[in-house]
Every structure is written in C-alpha cells, then in structure tokens.
A = this chain, B = another copy of it.
Amino acid sequence: MTIQLYGFWRSNAAFRVRVALALKKLSFEEIEIDILSGRQFDAEYAEVNAEHVVPTFVHDGHRIFQSLAIMEYLDDLQPEPRLLPADAKERAYARSLALVSAADAHPLVIPRVRKYLGEVLSADAAAIDAWVRHWTVEGLATYERLLSRRPADPFALGTAPTIADICIAGQIVLAELHGLDLAAFPGVAALGKRCFELPAFANAHPFRQPHYLAKKH
C-alpha cells in the first residue's frame, strides 16, 4: 500500500489527516501545496482536486478529498485503532463533535475567505484578524460547552482518541496560530494537552512540519 497526501504545513484539514494516519501507523509521503500562495488553484493541482483544496489523500492511486471523508475511509481501510466508536450513538456524537470545527468554525477562517474580506470587502488586517479570532473563539466556546456537559475521560469519547479529538485539537491549533489564549476554555485546554502528549498529535502540528521548519520562523 502506498499513500500520498497533498497537504500543507498550515492547513488545519491536512493536520487532521496527518494525525489520523499517525494513529493508524500508516506511513505516507506528503506533497506540499502552498495554499497561502494560491498553489491549490494551479492547473496541475486542479486536476488532482476539483475543489481546489487540500488535503487530497491518494491510496494506491485512488484519490479522496475532504478530511472527514478521508478519516472515515482510513477506518474502513484499517479498522484498528478505531477513529470512530463502534456504537452507533457514540459514533454519531464523535461525528457531531468533529463537524463543529470541520463544518462550522474552520471553513470561516481559511485563506480564500480572508482574501475575499480584504480584497472585496476592503477589510484591513486588524478587521480580518478580528474575524478569524471571533469564529475561532466560537468554535472553542462550543467545544467548552459540550465538554462541560460530558467531560473528556480522558478523550472526548472515552479511552482512545477519535475524529472528535482530532478536530478539537485542530481547533486548538487554529487558536495557537492566531494568538488566542485558552484560559477561558479549560476543558478544551485539558483535552488538548492530553492529545498533544501523544506523538501522533505532536508530530502532526504545523510547527513540526518540514516546510515550516525550513522557513526558520
């Protein structure tokens, strides 16, 4: 089995898939698509991914896009360790938690949206930053409310990390990238600490990626 991942060090969706692959102990080659420079719109990559987004996952030549679809596929490809719980109600809760970031909070802060705010709505850098922080905090606050109702023990769904923890960790990464303090979200912060103690999460972090490190930020 050969796996390639078209990703980007800073892409939150690519982060999710890197964690999932690491939890499954599946090795892969990552191909960097610089979405901050608009490389996702290049003709060559547009052929790979008709939505012009990262990541694209390639398994023995078969392409899959959208991080949640990829993670679900990984559970089909290699069931253990499970990224989704075996029980249907628990699986539904894991998906709901994952979608809070993947379908509600994160889509609002991606590069093409920030670009539109600046170029079309003439928002300045401070206004764009405030936008990103606002929606990132909304996601964190939702997770905090959910985790206060059902505390992580030690992970969101129980003993092992699932797609829920992966997406919550991704939301924490967004907070870090935009200088947000997690003090108001103690449940989220504690869960994040447990996640990033695991090498699968830590090594997938944007700041640990070769292309980030090569830039010597």
Contact = CB atoms under 8 A, between A and B. Distances in A.
As for how many copies of this chain the complex holds, the number is 2
A99 B13 CA distance: 12
Interface string A118-147: 001101000100110010000000100110
A116 B131 contact: yes
A184 interface: no
A217 interface: no
A103 interface: yes
A69 B130 contact: no
Contacts of A92: 64, 69-70, 72-73, 76
Contact of A69 (B53, B99, B104, B131): B99
Interface in A84-103: 88-89, 91-93, 95-96, 99-100, 102-103
A108 interface: yes
A121 B116 contact: no
Interface in A181-212: none
A31 interface: no
A64 B102 contact: no
A146 B50 contact: yes
Given A64-B92, A64-B93, A130-B120, A103 B100 contact: no
A107 interface: yes
10 contacts: A50-B142, A50-B146, A64-B92, A68-B95, A72-B91, A76-B91, A99-B103, A117-B121, A120-B127, A120-B134
Closest 10 pairs (CB-CB, A-B): A69-B95, A76-B88, A103-B103, A66-B99, A50-B145, A73-B92, A107-B107, A66-B96, A69-B96, A51-B142
